[in-house]
Chain A
Amino acid sequence: MSKYVSGVVGFIEDDHKLLAAAKKTYAAGYREFDTISPFPIHGMDAAMGLGRSAIPWVTFFAGLTGCSFGLWFTWWTSAVDYPVNVGGKPFMSLPAFIPILFELTILFGALSSVGAMFILNGLPKVKPPVIDPDLTCSKFALFIPETETGYNPEKAESHLKSIGATDIRRVAEF
């Protein structure tokens, strides 16, 4: 679980302005900053210089694992461990096993993707510090943490002022 950090937060009026503010913050050389919004904002990943999430790789390999496991398991149980002659069908009846392979592909892929999302996002967090309860409702904010290279609270505050933040606060931990 990630440790909480202190920093400076600036509240921005709406989602469009937050996007513009994030672009300017990235252009000003900030790399560790984060934006907080009640809903995902289109284009924010690019504005913050974040690449594509790596989760699809997890999905792909987990799905592949599910499919391979299904293939191995149906073969091992039906043809190796305890073969039973069912209506003269082959012990290894691949076409009949396809639905099992398919369902296991989906199941492994879906559960692993969600698990990966939790791990990458550092969830679950127990009672995490919240800057403002309205940030999950109607407010938008940009947060510059102390981990930023060359972090200086005064400089961060003046930067937030320059990008149009209406309310600027120092945050002990977020």
Chain B
Amino acid sequence: MLGRSKLVLGDKSFKDITEDICAPLETLPGKPWLMMFGAAKTTLLFYFGVLFYIAYTGMGTMGVSHPIMWGTDIVTFVFWVGIGHAGTLISAILFLFRQKWRTGIARAAEAMTVFAVMTAGIFPLMHTGRPWLAFWLFPYPNQRGPLWVNFRSPLLWDVFAVSTYATVSIVFWYVGLIPDFATVRDRAKNTLRKNIYGALSMGWRGTNRNWRHYEMVYLLLAGLSTPLVLSVHTIVSFDFAVANLPGWHTTIFPPYFIAGAIFSGFAMVVTLMTLVRIGFPQIKDYITLDHLEVMNKIIMTTGMMVGYAYGSEFFIAWYSGVEFEKFAFVNRAFGPMGWSYWIMVSCNVISPQVFWFKKFRRSIPVMFVVSIIVNIGMWFERFVITMSLHRDFLPANWAVFHFKFADVGVLVGSFGMFFTLFLLFLRAFPMVSMSEVKPCLEVGRDGGGHHE
């Protein structure tokens, strides 16, 4: 029988795990963290400025104009929501499949999910043009009749899907954090720290009568999050697919979007984890090269799935015999905005192919570069899909999309928001789930792996 490789390197004891993972919370940040945080926070402040400029002046500051009425906001919304999916896949779906390797990366990946969804949520609100009226999106008794929201609209389904996803992801993440907060509380030397983490831990004490309900609720949340995460990107794809537009109105969209979401999300996890390993060297024993290699395999697999979707879209456009459909696709690849199509294909389909080689799968610089290329490609995938609008049924309407300052500003700025939150997370919350890693300590050790 093949041996299993160790999930936690370096022959740790339970105490060592606690020490390693609590260290970033209990020491002052070093220079690299401060520099990254400074950069992220500056970008975040810039983002606030851009958002204020757009909200104050109006949507004319962005590139959207007739006939391309969906622009950077929608593209970047789908981009960030998609990134969130990998976190839920790791924390919920791999949990149901009893994949023990998930324990090392689940916490950070879930944090990524929560922050990515928060980042994404800003964009549809900005796109409405009047973000201060965003509460109109929810059905509430009002003085206009009451006039209710239109439940037949995919855009409203999206409101429900994304807000449910955000809520359940935060709850799932928080429930996972409770025992670890208790660990931090019990180690705390000063009263303030003890009180803050004591409140966060809700007075958790690790008795089995509590673990019993806790484990059940964790399993249930994993079971509920699994269909939820698949539904979210399905419904995001409905924003496009339910519209009667060539290039959008296709049944392949839900699985295609989900594969793309997992693809880009895993790429973001790899980007973040390689950086975390540099910033916190002790984490290398928990987020090992084996973890990264497995994720690179998933990136390559899902990359080929989206590649298959690109091909099958083209085939069906031809096979359907609908000339509008055919035109939409030929125009995507060879029209005036064809450059974005080829960025998409080369980033998403070609670049992950380097992971056929084990040497590259296990090379930190290679995976770092590829993961960033993949995310560029996935942003352009959503751009390409949205830009189906640029040549509609009336040639007199045809136009191309021009990026304006605000378009680039929100895209760059959103990374500031995401990284600010993520860097704070690394310093305030245990970045690896201690209570989940500790039972996996024996995996791969002599005589270990199974304990009943």
Does B250 reach chain A (CB closer than 8 Å)? no
Chain B residues whose C-beta falls within 8 Å of the C-beta of A29 in the assembled complex: none
Beta-carbon contact of B451 and A77 below 8 Å: no
Does B27 reach chain A (CB closer than 8 Å)? no
Stretch of A53-61, A147-155, A163-171 at the chain-chain interface: A53-61
Complexed CA–CA distance, A77 and B150 (Å): 9
Beta-carbon contact of B152 and A137 below 8 Å: no
Smallest CB-CB separation from A83: which chain B residue? B148
Beta-carbon contact of A138 and B15 below 8 Å: yes
Chain B residues whose C-beta falls within 8 Å of the C-beta of A102 in the assembled complex: 227, 231
Does B190 reach chain A (CB closer than 8 Å)? no
Beta-carbon contact of A110 and B216 below 8 Å: no
Beta-carbon contact of B148 and A137 below 8 Å: no
Which of B151, B182, B215, B231 meets A74, CB within 8 Å?
Answer: B151
Once A77-B151, A111-B167, A133-B187 are accepted as A-B contacts, the answer to whether A36 and B224 lie under 8 Å apart by CB is no
CB distance from B276 to the nearest CB of A (A): 22
B contact patch SS: helix
Does A28 reach chain B (CB closer than 8 Å)? no
A-B contact count (CB 8 A): 202
Once A42-B452, A123-B204 are accepted as A-B contacts, the answer to whether A135 and B186 lie under 8 Å apart by CB is yes
Does B439 reach chain A (CB closer than 8 Å)? yes
Once A102-B231, A113-B217, A137-B186 are accepted as A-B contacts, the answer to whether A44 and B211 lie under 8 Å apart by CB is yes
Does B320 reach chain A (CB closer than 8 Å)? no
Once A135-B186, A137-B183 are accepted as A-B contacts, the answer to whether A114 and B211 lie under 8 Å apart by CB is no
Once A78-B151, A106-B164, A127-B198 are accepted as A-B contacts, the answer to whether A56 and B203 lie under 8 Å apart by CB is no
Beta-carbon contact of B203 and A128 below 8 Å: yes
Once A40-B439, A118-B202, A125-B203 are accepted as A-B contacts, the answer to whether A99 and B161 lie under 8 Å apart by CB is yes
Q: Using a CB-CB cutoff of 8 Å, which residues 20-63 of chain A contact chain B?
A: 22, 34-45, 48, 50, 52-53, 55-56, 59
Complexed CA–CA distance, A155 and B211 (Å): 27
Interface centre among A73, A86, A124, A126 (most CB of B within 10 A): A124
Contact size range, A = 35 or more
Beta-carbon contact of B436 and A107 below 8 Å: no
Complexed CA–CA distance, A16 and B452 (Å): 8
Which of A86, A107, A135, A137 meets B15, CB within 8 Å?
Answer: A137
Beta-carbon contact of B179 and A38 below 8 Å: yes
Beta-carbon contact of B216 and A130 below 8 Å: no
Beta-carbon contact of A43 and B452 below 8 Å: yes
Complexed CA–CA distance, A44 and B164 (Å): 34
Which of B157, B185, B451 meets A16, CB within 8 Å?
Answer: B451
Which of B14, B164, B202 meets A138, CB within 8 Å?
Answer: B14
CB distance from A121 to the nearest CB of B (A): 5
Beta-carbon contact of B439 and A39 below 8 Å: yes
Chain B residues whose C-beta falls within 8 Å of the C-beta of A136 in the assembled complex: 179, 182-183, 185-186, 204-206
Stretch of B123-131, B139-147, B333-341, B384-392 at the chain-chain interface: B139-147
Chain A residues whose C-beta falls within 8 Å of the C-beta of B225 in the assembled complex: 110
Chain B residues whose C-beta falls within 8 Å of the C-beta of A162 in the assembled complex: none
Beta-carbon contact of B208 and A114 below 8 Å: no
Smallest CB-CB separation from A132: which chain B residue? B186
Does B435 reach chain A (CB closer than 8 Å)? yes
Chain A residues whose C-beta falls within 8 Å of the C-beta of B207 in the assembled complex: 34-36, 143
CB distance from B451 to the nearest CB of A (A): 6
Beta-carbon contact of B208 and A125 below 8 Å: no
Does B76 reach chain A (CB closer than 8 Å)? no
Beta-carbon contact of A113 and B214 below 8 Å: no
Which of A16, A81, A97, A128 meets B151, CB within 8 Å?
Answer: A97
Chain B residues whose C-beta falls within 8 Å of the C-beta of A126 in the assembled complex: 203
Does A172 reach chain B (CB closer than 8 Å)? no
Q: Using a CB-CB cutoff of 8 Å, which residues 128-179 of chain B contact chain A?
A: 139, 145-153, 156-157, 160-161, 164, 167-168, 171-172, 175, 179
Chain A residues whose C-beta falls within 8 Å of the C-beta of B217 in the assembled complex: 53, 55, 113-114, 116-117
Does A5 reach chain B (CB closer than 8 Å)? no
Complexed CA–CA distance, A73 and B149 (Å): 11
Q: Give chain B's interface residues, CB within 8 Å of chain A.
A: 13-15, 18, 139, 145-153, 156-157, 160-161, 164, 167-168, 171-172, 175, 179, 182-183, 185-187, 198-199, 202-217, 220-221, 224-225, 227-228, 231, 235, 238, 434-436, 438-439, 451-452
8 shortest A-B CB distances, which residue pairs? A125-B203, A138-B14, A133-B186, A124-B202, A77-B148, A53-B216, A99-B157, A117-B217
A–B pairs, 17, beta carbons within 8 Å: A15-B451, A16-B451, A35-B207, A37-B206, A40-B435, A99-B238, A102-B227, A103-B157, A106-B168, A106-B231, A110-B172, A124-B199, A124-B203, A133-B186, A133-B187, A136-B179, A136-B183
Assuming A96-B151, A100-B160, what are 17 further A-B pairs, CB within 8 angstroms?
Answer: A15-B451, A34-B207, A42-B452, A44-B208, A50-B212, A52-B216, A56-B220, A59-B224, A93-B151, A103-B228, A103-B231, A110-B167, A110-B172, A114-B175, A114-B221, A127-B203, A137-B15
